[in-house]
Amino acid sequence: MAEVLVFHHGHGLTAGVREFAEHLRRAGHTVLAPDLYEGQVFESLEEGIGYAENAGFDTITERGTAAAEGLPADLVYVGFSLGVMSAQKLAQTRPGAKGALLIEACVPASEFGSAWPQDVPVQIHGMDADPFFAGEGDVDAAREVVGAAADAELFLYPGDRHLFADSSLPSYDEHAAIQVNHRVLSFLDRVK
């Protein structure tokens, strides 16, 4: 089974992110979900992003990088929205990555100083009308990563919700989230 490191989104380590991690554990995977917000969970995304801005987005990303220290190299990195920064950085720059699952965000590979590594499988999920994913260029970055990677998939779901995969938020879309969970488990079974 795969060893997985899950990074939360801008609300913090919500019940929905914890539930996602537990879903992977029940499937037999070893999963860690570090808290990049030092125990804080925010009711609104605006408050959570405000916290990240005050702490510094680089600081939040570095907390994610630090969470991988001392862990085996052959991890699968999962990021939800803001957590994609840590997941993508580690997948691109930490030798030995087994894969990356980027959910509701993607940044250009050049953000981390290199092209996507050919030997790191990647799966990217987002809604086709999400104002963040589709409207701020993430989908373009996702297409770039998928075009450069040897083993890559981009899944676009119909809808305009951001954070649709977190069951604890009002933006949750059960149908799309079930598809994400199914595809994530298939990916993990393939790369373990």
pLDDT in tens, 58-107: 999 999 999 999 999 999 999 999 999 999 999 999 999 999 999 999 99
CA dihedral for 88, 82, 189, 161, sign (positive or negative) = negative
pLDDT confidence tier of residue 156, bands split at 50, 70 and 90: very high
Distance from C-alpha of 142 to C-alpha of 105, rounded to nearest angstrom: 8
Give the percent of the chain with pLDDT over 90.
95
Question: What's the whole-number mean pLDDT along residues 126-144?
Answer: 96
Q: What is the pLDDT of residue 115?
A: 86
Distance from C-alpha of 126 to C-alpha of 134, rounded to nearest angstrom: 8
Q: What is the pLDDT of residue 113?
A: 83
192 pLDDT above the threshold of 90? no
Range of the domain at 121: 3-191
pLDDT in tens, 40-66: 999 999 999 999 999 999 999 999 999
Distance from C-alpha of 116 to C-alpha of 13, rounded to nearest angstrom: 27
Please count the structural domains in the chain.
1
Residue 8 is part of a domain; what is its CATH number?
3.40.50.1820
pLDDT confidence tier of residue 114, bands split at 50, 70 and 90: confident
pTM for this prediction = 0.96
**CA 12 vs CA 20, 34, 87: distances in Å:** 14, 10, 15
Residue 30, CB-side half-sphere exposure with 13 Å CA sphere? 8
Question: What's the whole-number mean pLDDT along residues 186-192?
Answer: 92
172 pLDDT above the threshold of 80? yes
